[in-house]
Amino acid sequence: MLSLIEGGVLWLTALVSMGVANDLLAPQGPAVPWELALGRSFAFAVIGVTSLYFADLYDMVTLRRPAAFPERLPYTLALALCLLAALYYLLPALRLGAHVLLPCAAAGVVFLLAVRIALGRSVRRREPERVLLLGDQTLGGRLADAITAKGRGEYLVVGVVALAPDAEGINRQLQKAMQDTTPDRVVVATGDRQAPLPLQQLLQSRLSGVAVEDYVPFYERLAGKIALDRLSPGSVVFGDGFGEARLYTAFSRAVGLIAATFGLLVLAPFMALIAVGIRVTSPGPVFFIHQRVGRHGKPYGLIKLRTMHIADGPHSEWARDNNDRITPLGRVLRRFRIDELPQLINVLKGDMNLVGPRPHPVSNYLMFMERIPHYAFRSVVRPGITGWAQVRYCYANNLEQEIEKMRFDLFYIRNVSIWLDLRVLFETIRIVLRGHEGAIVVDPAIRGQRFGTLS
């Protein structure tokens, strides 16, 4: 909603600036057709909103910090200038003259700052939703961690109510907890599906306006990953998701072909320059071809720009065990994901999509099948150059982190759609431009934090 408001503000600002500039600075010049004026102002607004998005200025945590907008304004303006330069080079008809662009940009910053100040006060005044967790202490603590890491100040855990062995006891405990904490939402988190639940009390709470929700959908919506411990084979077999619709498959394949062809043509000179740098700075081939697991478990050769020195013998696949082999140029290529560009060739060949779970090495496949729950479901879709786990988590350096990434991969597979792919692509571009990983990992100090049981 904020992006629509600010886009409208920038659009109107550009239109007014064009009218004022033409009237004052070029009164005798030819009139700009109204449809061209609308197009130019719309392009300016889209570039502005896109720059704000890539600067993380639509993040809820950022909105709660008054100093965030002025702090990130230089980066936003620099990015907007680069995007406008590229747009005007490709589509000169949309170009705004300097006598329009400069006052338009200045007025846009002033109006956006006013919007941010007004909205920021509203956001900071809004009280977080009070959440009462009912059930298993371990699941409740995990959900509390997710709220702390991903809740963005929208939720506040007011307590955890442990389940009593009898229905009468849990009804009494829940009723007392409801009176003491006055929650806005009750999340039922039970590890034992046979445990008695205070259904009558929960029904009364819902009728009184308190939201009641199961742990699984709340956790998955909040954290953007699957609750593996609550995912049963039956829920996979009979539930929704975990597959691709034919329309989505055809659309993603067509988009992948177009994007890969265009990307290879445009980036060919840049990749040639990088190839020369790789050959000059370290001995070995330019490209690194690695056997990865594709759709339905079929292996294929994934193509990357080489970023490491050649290994003398067998080596670990974990990133942390290969840090000493990364070349100086390779660190830059890996930081900005430039080493992934040759995978556009894999997209053309049909081995990969633009978006999907990242393909794992063939050498790890059997181990992951044995040790990671529901691992086989990663292969029901094509792997991708980027994915939901890549923009939500860090490089995996051990089996525990691979299992954590599996939660994100399954969330993507269950909810796969065109809109989710677009979101992943935008997040990827933002991460590349900012030169960091997309991970938001719970701080170790927070991970150990638990909330007291209410009894």
Tell me whether residue 236 is in a domain.
no
Average pLDDT over residues 219-227: 84
Query: Do residues 46 and 94 share a domain?
Result: yes
Q: State how beta strands 299-305 and 287-293 pair.
A: antiparallel
In percent, the amount of the chain with pLDDT more than 90 equals 24
- Summarised one tens digit per residue, pLDDT across range 383-422 is 999 999 988 887 777 888 888 899 999 999 888 888 899 9
d(CA 415, CA 221): 11
Q: Is the pLDDT of residue 257 over 90?
A: yes
Kindly state whether residue 345 falls inside one of the protein's structural domains: yes
H helices within 55-166, ranges in order? 60-63, 68-90, 98-125, 137-150
Q: Are residues 148 and 68 in the same domain?
A: no
Q: What confidence tier does 441 reach under pLDDT thresholds 50, 70, 90? A: very low
pLDDT in the model for residue 435: 63
- What pLDDT score was predicted for residue 329? 93
What tens digit of pLDDT does each residue of 117-176 get?
A: 877 766 666 678 888 888 777 777 777 777 777 656 678 888 888 776 666 777 788 888
Same domain, 302 and 416: yes
In tens, the pLDDT along 17-66 reads: 877 666 554 554 456 677 788 888 899 999 999 988 888 888 766 776 77
CA–CA separation, 375 and 152 (whole Å): 30
pLDDT at 96: 85
Which of helix, strand or coil describes residue 292? Answer: strand
DSSP string, 331-344: HHHHHTTGGGTTHH
Whether residue 233 lies inside any domain: the answer is no
Distance CA 303, CA 78 (A): 33
State the pLDDT at residue 455: 30
User: 363 and 311 in one domain?
Assistant: yes
Q: Per-residue pLDDT for 237 more than 70? A: no
Same domain for 251 and 372?
Answer: yes
Location of structure tokens 């009184």:
208
Tell me, yes or no, whether 455 lies in a domain. Answer: no
Kindly give the residue spans of alpha helices, DSSP state H, lying in 298-451.
328-335, 343-349, 362-371, 388-392, 399-414, 418-434, 444-447
* CA 140/CA 157 separation, integer angstroms: 10
- Residue 192: pLDDT band by 50, 70, 90 thresholds? low
**Residues 187, 79 share a domain:** no
H or E stretch at 43? helix 34-54
CATH number at residue 203: 3.40.50.2300
Q: How confident is the model at residue 315 (pLDDT cuts 50, 70, 90)?
A: low
Whether residue 394 sits in one domain with residue 251: yes
SS in 3 state form for 287-306?
A: EEEEEEECHHHCEEEEEEEC
Q: Where are the alpha helices (DSSP H) in 282-378?
A: 328-335, 343-349, 362-371
Residues 6 or more apart in contact with residue 390 via CB below 8 angstroms: 358, 424, 428, 438
Which pLDDT does position 387 carry in this prediction? 92
Residue finishing a domain among 106, 125, 144: 125
* pTM to 2 decimal places: 0.74
Q: Which of 341, 285, 328 is nearest to 310 (CA)?
A: 285
Does 397 lie in the same domain as 268? yes
Domain count, the chain: 3
Helix (H, G, I), strand (E, B) or coil at 373: coil
Task: Return the axis-axis angle of helices 246-281 and 418-434, rounded to nearest 10°.
Answer: 20
Residue 240, domain member (yes or no): no
Q: Are 214 and 250 found together in one domain?
A: no
For strands 211-214 and 384-386, give the pairing: unpaired
Q: Assess if residue 229 is contained within a domain.
A: no
Q: Do 186 and 253 fall into the same domain?
A: no
Most confident range, picked from 228-232, 234-238, 286-290: 286-290
Q: What per-residue confidence (pLDDT) applies to 33?
A: 74
What residues make up the domain containing 198? 129-223
Residue keyed to tokens 């597959």: 243
- pLDDT class of 382 with cuts at 50, 70, 90: very high
Are 330 and 344 in contact by the 8 Å Cβ rule? The answer is: no
| 145 lies in some domain | yes
Query: Does 429 lie in the same domain as 310?
Result: yes
Indicate if 39 and 183 belong to the same structural domain.
no
